Structure 1
């Protein structure tokens, strides 16, 4: 019997090797279009950065070694042009010599994989972008980087490969931005989980452009100017397209082999195609997801290797079945890990499949053992029978272990009721006595049996928030409008609550919120617990974009990095809070500083990733000095001096001297001409070298709304009506006088254009681009029903105190 395999790498090479192990007499021919028959395509990005220093380590098997080891006829740089099924022959071309010949087969295996999807963008040519699918692509990128030494690069596509390229180019000193058409990176997970990927990329100063597409590319010398669908432009020296892949099934389609609408080859449970003599494996085939019994395109290396083994067994006469792919995957994002298995919640919603989900935030091992860190774990299940639909997890250590457990549980048909009984290895350095997976079982039962329901970050329910953390934690940060009733006081303060209202309790991670929920429900109150606590809520409600590309964003807290300060911290006091979860690190800092004199310095180390933002707020609020802060190797190190670095008299004098350099204004009006005037003044202030802050409140907020954008967050009926009645964005604003049903505004725009006066959109863009600060009043947003995602990018959110902090340093304040 003669078996011809089209394509090597994962599926093809696995088929060939397994086939030879099973039968010494089969004639095996492998035809590979590229120059390499077996290579680690998942390792390609890591050679670009030098993490995998030796290129040869990516070549798992050479032609010579694979041929001699398994007695296989391997021909690289050989392309199959066509398949003639009726006579069981294929037409082949040698890409080196151009020779065309025919090859017969008894059984044929198609393992052509997938090919990069390259969009039709105006100005996109083969010479002004790169991609990464094989060794040749990798070599091209390495050569370009070594020769041109680009300072910046743009990656289009925020999937697995795209993010790995971003990380590895960043490692060699290139500034990066990623452009993604969807509203999130990493679409194989749900939005709230992807938000942690966004945060990690922001921390590494990566630009993020979500819901954006390139519509045109122009070139200026060695630079590419990318025009986006949002109207923005990015200038870059290097462009990499990594939008995704499509099955490379042209051969099969031309041969009349059955494919689906996407082009994936349709196979049966034995991986046979519509032709009984032809099999197909890998990224080119359609697979069944057994969780929901739905056909999907899941291009992963693991399933491809397993399919190759099964096809080899079936070729020699066995009846081995492939039971489908559940899509277990994982990605490293700088220090972060994100992984998933099964289907997402957004998939279930799109199919109208009833389900429940929850998020657990818990340490990767015993919190009292050094260097513990949080894992954010999401489980999705059927409330009726406990069937597990999927899980997602993100964190710094131990993420893979939990997802592997759930993947095994799914394949073994375990339910959420079985999770509480799963036994895992335990020692303080590896785990807690009750693993996160056990907690997932407990929490599932709480929801199913006790109706301990959750409040989701995007819920539209009208509720009142109760913060059950300590007062010190509440002071650092809290949800706007939340009432602070610490957990230990809640039983004594029940009279402050109304049994006719619905409340949402929350803490940092959800555990204290759960205990508060139990207390209140047992006392007859209607209460939900905030899913994932403040950890998830804060992260997902932030602006997910990071459009200040190729420019480091200045911190809100002033850092002091000079020789004078370096000399003053010789006698630094060390404080190790590693393993402590919030509010532990902050409370330890507070306790230590209370016993120190003004001017003394401490160095705090924490593994709580929320500590980085919390300590900035706490230091500022308590009038101490943050000398420096860094986040490296999954540890946050902050150097703090007790008290202000200068005397009160010097502070007052410095404020008076600096007032000439700051302008602030309240934009209350939503009229075209008044907003226009405010932007002219604000840009003029920046042009004079001043700092400028614009505080948009009430009707002025309409100027910041996105044009023709509908929020994905739910609104009450009143909020919807309110927003429908208000203008949506700068182009919809009216003149305060002489509007005349819009004619006055048309005349105004005509005059502005004829006199080369910038449009409102251009003025606003320039203001943000040049470092201007825009604050949207959160109280007014709540009153008017405007959600964060409805406002343009670059806007900060805050209340009167935030604005007054800037206004107090300003020479003048305007109310428009």
Structure 2
């Protein structure tokens, strides 16, 4: 069996390492256009802020390890086209510039995503940077050393983490986003209000609800960022607007969402026989709605990559779907979310209610205790849980992993009220915060 894998970040690395163990007699070739594999881009802000001093620590595999597993590892090779009818790929060696045709029995597309780059005046100026891979991380650190005023465009996880890192380095930071709140995709207003207050307290300028329209400067260096509401001075601009799937190679050959995300079934199969896909190039089932959605997360990628390997010969293990569960630490706040925010559910036309708990997470008789803000969103008619968020200076983020399981298993709020959670004064109250949310919803229905 001859297997070709295109791309080797999270999904690709998980796929090839598992396939090498499961199919020791297979001929496995991985094509990767970069000179490295498995870079954890979620650690870029930690590297920029000096929490992780050595960027090499952000890799969890390398080409030499893959070669030792018997994988034909082709670094700095760019796949130019795929012919799924003939089962061939055309590949260019980026070092020698030579082009050749390779054949496959099974093809795995783990080409990932790439940052969205808006086409506007000044976008090509030298000190407007992306934040995705190892090279980006090194460039950001190099240019940030001499920058005094830094503009971050995009108030999602990556943008917020970079803002924190730059603020702690003593930079003057402006955060621009076209949504009315930071972390709009992940958190509802009571949570983002606290984050925004913290950012403002630390001197970060928030420019929300406005779109960037142009970048201007001289000597190929940006000096001003123009938006629909004003202008902001900048020595350095980091674009964190979002990501698009890298799927042009399979355009018109497999089924995709309008944004180009490849549709895969529960066994990671595309609509084309013997072609599989995983990671940020894919759309997967979003359990709160039951529909396919584009949710580029490293956790999704490694699960999907592992499942490709398990299901390559025959359907074996189904993908359980995703809740888009994620977490972030911003200054002293530990934050996590899963499923849908209340705003997202309402925008999707769902009839939902919510319960918000704002309480000390453990008994008052303990020498210290912190407030915890917990919100659970659920369908009004059925009580089915569809989303949750937590924020506290205490680390209560694992409660969101618990609620992720609840959503995956279609649990209801009345069931949540009586789940068996332990009590120990160091950690919680006799009625756990999650129990409290379920009980309050139950009493509301009653």
TM-score tier (shorter): over 0.9
**RCO greater where, 1 or 2, for CA within 8 Å and sep 6 or more?**
2
Are 1:437 and 2:439 matched, yes or no?
Answer: no
Q: Deviations over 1:727-750 (max 9, x none)?
A: xxxxxxxxxxxxxxxxxxxxxxxx
2:262 aligns to what?
A: 265
Counterpart in the other structure of 2:353: 356
Q: Which residue of 1 aligns with 2:42?
A: 42
Work out the CA distance in 2 between the residues paired with 1:226 and 1:430.
46
1:423, distance to aligned residue in structure 2 (A): 2.6
The Cα of 1:123 is off from its aligned counterpart by 1.7
Q: Distance in 2 between matches of 1:49 and 1:128?
A: 19
Shift of 1:126: 4.9
| C-alpha deviation, 1:144, in angstroms | 1.5
Contact 1:200 1:336 in 2 (8 A): no
Deviation at 1:223, TM superposition (A): 5.1
Against the structure 1 CA distance between its residues 425 and 213, is the aligned structure 2 distance closer, same or farther, given a 3 Å change threshold?
same
Which residue number corresponds to residue 614 of structure 1? Answer: none
Higher mean Cα deviation, 354-363 or 214-223? 214-223
Deviation at 1:23, TM superposition (A): 1.9
Q: Residue 445 of structure 2 aligns with which residue?
A: 448
Q: Contact conserved, 1:364 with 1:398, CA < 8 A, in 2? A: no
Tell me which residue corresponds to 2:7: 7
The answer to whether the Cα contact below 8 Å between 2:211 and 2:228 also exists between their aligned partners in 1 is yes
Structure (1 or 2) with the greater helix fraction = 1
Mapping 1:700-711, distance limit 5 Å = none
Q: CA deviation digits over 1:705-729, x for unaligned, max 9?
A: xxxxxxxxxxxxxxxxxxxxxxxxx
- When Rg is computed on C-alpha atoms for both structures, the one with the higher figure is 1
Matches of 1:115 and 1:329, distance apart in 2: 20
Q: Once the two structures are superposed, what CA deviation does each residue of 1:264-315 show, in whole Å capped at 9, x if it has no partner?
A: 1111221111211100101111111122212211111111111111111111
Name 1:215's counterpart in structure 2: 213
C-alpha change, 1:223 and 1:245, in structure 2 (3 Å) is closer
Contact persistence 2:320–2:408 (CA under 8 A):
no
3-state secondary structure, aligned to 1:271:
coil
Match of 1:191 among 189, 192, 204: 189
Q: State how far apart, in whole Å, the 2-side matches of 1:142 and 1:350 are.
A: 39
Q: Per-residue CA shift, 1:657-681, capped at 9, x if unaligned? A: xxxxxxxxxxxxxxxxxxxxxxxxx
Kindly state the Cα deviation for residue 419 of structure 1 after the two structures are TM-superposed.
1.5
Q: After TM superposition, give the deviation of residue 16 of structure 1 in Å.
A: 0.7
Contact 1:266 1:286 in 2 (8 A): yes
SS of the counterpart of 1:177?
Answer: strand
* Cα distance in 1 for residues equivalent to 2:38 and 2:344: 34
Instruction: Report how far residue 159 of structure 1 moved.
Output: 0.4
Paired residues of 2:127 and 2:143 also in contact (CA < 8 A)? no
How do residues 654-665 of structure 1 correspond to structure 2 at under 5 angstroms?
A: none
Which residue in the other structure is 1:341 paired with? 338
Aligned residues: 444
Alpha-carbon distance between aligned partners in 2 of 1:67 and 1:324, rounded to the nearest angstrom: 32
**CA distance 1:370–1:151, shift in 2 (3 Å):** farther
Alpha-carbon displacement from aligned partner over 1:420-446 (angstroms, at most 9, x marks no partner): 222333322222221100101111112
Looking at structure 2, the residues matched to 179 and 30 of structure 1 have their Cα atoms a distance apart, in angstroms, of 39
d(CA) in 2 for partners of 1:133, 1:218: 24
2:393 corresponds to 1:420: no
Residue in 2 that maps onto 1:139:
138
Aligned partner of 2:111 in structure 1 is 112
Higher strand share: 2
Distance 2:422 2:21 in 1: 36
Look up the match of 1:228.
Answer: 227
Offset at residue 368 of structure 1 (A): 2.6
CA distance in 2, matches of 1:185, 1:321: 35
Q: Distance in 1 between matches of 2:53 and 2:35?
A: 21
Match of 1:84 in 2: 83
For each residue in 1:649-701, what CA deviation from the matched residue of structure 2 results, as whole angstroms up to 9, or x when unmatched?
xxxxxxxxxxxxxxxxxxxxxxxxxxxxxxxxxxxxxxxxxxxxxxxxxxxxx
SS at match of 2:425: coil
What is the aligned partner in structure 2 of residue 165 from structure 1? 162
From 291, 295, 298, the equivalent of 2:292 is 295
Give me the TM-score of the superposition, normalised by structure 2: 0.96
Q: Unaligned stretches of 5+ in structure 1?
A: 450-816
Shift of 1:99: 1.6
Question: Which one of 242, 245, 248 corresponds to residue 247 of structure 1?
Answer: 245
Partner deviation per Cα, 1:8-29 (whole Å, 9 max, x = no partner): 1111110111112212111111
Query: Equivalent residue for 1:202?
Result: 200
8 Å Cα contact 2:322/2:408 also seen in 1: no
**Equivalents in 1 of 2:379, 2:197: separation in Å?**
30
Q: TM-score, normalised by structure 1?
A: 0.53
Matched, 1:305 2:312: no
Q: Note the C-alpha offset of 1:48.
A: 1.2
Distance 1:367 1:27, change over 3 A: farther
Distance 1:52 1:85 in 2: 42
Q: Give SS of 1:142's match.
A: helix
Q: 2:305 matched to 1:279?
A: no
| CA deviation after TM superposition for structure 1 residue 349, in Å | 1.4
Query: 307, 316, 321: which is aligned to 2:318?
Result: 321
Distance 1:163 1:408 in 2: 27
SS in 2 for 1:356: strand
Write the distance in 2 (CA, Å) between the matches of 1:59 and 1:405.
Answer: 28
1:73 is aligned to 72
User: Unmatched 5+ residue regions in structure 2?
Assistant: none
| Cα pair distance change 1:59/1:180, threshold 3 Å | same
Q: Secondary structure at the match of 1:312?
A: helix
